[in-house]
Structure 1
């Protein structure tokens, strides 16, 4: 499917500053709805990371308008000539982006300012670190337009809050404020509203400058913990830590600690 341009953004939808890849999932157009072209451009960039064609240490997801993302463009849904075909195409583009986030195998940080509704909430649930503001609100929003979730919400949300609470949140279309989102683990941190993007960018830059092998292994272990037995998981941890100790980053990290200096993981990767 060919996505419809969401707007002429004031900033690039996809940009890279050193090892940090930034993707704007929404623009001020159409009520800060999900930017369809950003999904396609973002997925393409993430696939370049997965193929080793981009040197990226972390991914930062932002919205360039008042909200992180207020959901899909419902007016475009209504205007479609054949809604099922149109929605299937949008869902496939969205899911290609979500899959690309995982195959890139880099930590994901989300700057969750304002509303994260519908598809926006789905995206937040894929972030390793999600930083919101005091006025941040999350809402499933699908029920209100007679649709079921996409973007993986019915897979991620039960893993974060448990199946019973996930059912309640989605089926009642619950609005979740910043404090509740932090308590339930939907957000990692809450800062002042005007500090959301700067705090998220700082966190993402810090992660991007760190050891990539350790970050990838940590993310994989946390994901596997949902289904592993304790014995299986202990074995996986033992394998991971021992393997990493023999990599250039692992060697540099331990040697720098002993030498009481800051590790230079970038130089270790180049060695």
Structure 2
């Protein structure tokens, strides 16, 4: 599933292609891809202009401007890519492909496709008031790159849950998934199954710093491509070339040389070093 760096990369690549363009029509090829009030997307979006493309947690957001003051169109369109969702801009008259779930026709003649092989991703059109009714949005935790060190420590230090489970919990902190949890915990020398309240505050402060460094490096390298992820130009990311633990089960630790361990934490395959992460 694309995590914070991948969604950030897609948003940055998509922005110059769609910002300032008006959506002239919306075509739905898979009804279950549309969450929330379907009519708001299918009947009220045409005529709205994309003002800004950005990210919140693992969500990609398009801020919309109505054609006229007081128009009932959406103020935002949100995409959750889940495992295999992709957003690409194609030339005029490009037909839908086998996995195309939505197409947005743009005023410059091009078409924004939302493709999703597994059909787990979704699109949601929202009026401003709808955010108050969207439980997922209301419970999202703070952004890891915008959270100060002490605030980060305070969110974790009294919790009894395991540290990796806490990092994966989008209500605790938004945007981190399996890849960047494993990589950050290795660099901070923290076992992924350690209870949060057992970790010294000094180590939690270290984790805050390395987590931000890992995320920033991954954004610079356009994310990690394991299977399906491609950016808004169709290019693969490069951060997977820097993995120290993720996906390297049984391989030698790059620090101490012993084989890396695998376990399950919060239901997710977790790779760590039994020596470096004591």
TM-score, structure 1 normalization:
0.25
Higher relative contact order by CA 8 Å / sep ≥ 6: 1 or 2?
2
| TM-score for both structures, normalised by structure 2 | 0.24
Which structure has the greater CA radius of gyration? 2
Structure that is richer in helix per residue: 1
